[in-house]
Structure 1
Amino acid sequence: MTPPARTPGAEVARLLAEAGVRGEVRELPDSARTAAAAAAQLGVPVGAIANSLVFDVDGSPLLVLTSGAHRVDQPAVARLLGVPRVERATPDFVREHTGQAVGGVSPIGHPEPIGTLVDVELARFDTVWAAAGHPHTVFPTSYDELIRLTDGTPAEVGTAQQGALP
């Protein structure tokens, strides 16, 4: 069931339906601005949460979908891209390039396509949960589906966070 047009996640729900995705947008009672908060509300391992992190690469956006159990290794991502550095984007930069607020950035639904790296660690999980354009909305998907939806590139983008559940 697609949420009504004015509810959080409605645009992402529409795009998912158009792409043939069977998982539905789910509105959470509390904010899921962090992977730990999303995992707790969904009752899943933090590693099954796909964090959508936007980076600034010389003024261009880069979306990194990383496992909630990982921290993005920015120098490693820069080497992978062959650039001097990647910097965490400001909230204004994120909103400008995604149309969404930090803490709710969806892998899809941006004004223009954004180059995307997808953490290979997410392949460990049958179901991966991603933000649906608002801090209170998520949708279930899979690693392969994330790659298809975003035209993303599988990559080793991070290192395990100390204390994070697998």
Structure 2
Amino acid sequence: MSSDPTSEPSRAGEHPSVSRFRAEHARLGGTGEIVILPDSVHTAVLAAQALGCEPGAIANSLLFDAGGAPVLILTSGAHRVDQALVAERIGVERLRRATPEFVRAHTGQVIGGVSPLAHPAPVPTYLDPWLARHSVVWAAAGHPAAVFSTTHDELLALTGATLVEVE
């Protein structure tokens, strides 16, 4: 990406999902930097390239449909979620990839920009322990061009997640 990220963009015109994320992040005591990138980074590889880190340091926020109930898996960009294995580990019958409509209904955000926070209602959240291997972790901040820095431990505390191996 040719432009430098800006950590404190003008709040005027900020996307409402990013504003909601920013408010919730502050309310929960989040310490990381919120960065608005010049382009959408809807994959771990694109986010890693834009941020100058490896894909494993990107926390993908993947929403699944567990029989009509949302389940959020925060996984390292280096991993693929084994849906059958994770369903068994978290005690649900089945996990299916959520439709864009399901994602928006349960998170208020779009695929590629789903943050671990600021959803309309609490969503059961699970965190990939692999992310602890990185001193800085980056996750979406409510929009495909917005990310925030955090640590594995802070992400665990902010979300109230349960640890689960995803592969």
What amino acid is aligned across from residue 33 of structure 1 in structure 2?
H
Give the superposition deviation at 1:5: 6.0
Match of 2:115 among 106, 112, 120: 106
* TM-score, structure 2 as length reference: 0.90
In structure 1, the residue matched to 2:41 is 32
1:154 aligned onto 2:163: yes
Contact 1:105 1:131 in 2 (8 A): yes
Contact 2:30 2:158 in 1 (8 A): no
Contact 1:2 1:13 in 2 (8 A): no
Give the superposition deviation at 1:23: 1.3
In structure 2, the residue matched to 1:164 is none
Match of 1:145 among 133, 148, 154: 154
Contact 1:52 1:65 in 2 (8 A): yes
Match of 2:140 among 110, 126, 131: 131
1:21 aligned onto 2:30: yes
- Deviates most, 6-15 or 69-78: 6-15
* TM-score, structure 1 as length reference: 0.91
Match of 2:14 among 7, 15, 23: 7
* Structure number with higher strand proportion: 1
Unaligned runs of 5+ in 1: 159-166
1:62 aligned onto 2:71: yes
Unaligned runs of 5+ in 2: 1-7
* Change beyond 3 A, Cα 1:2–1:113: farther
In structure 2, the residue matched to 1:94 is 103
Instruction: Deviation per CA, 1:46-69: give whole Å up to 9, x if none.
Output: 000000000000100000000000
Aligned-residue sequence identity (percent) comes to 54
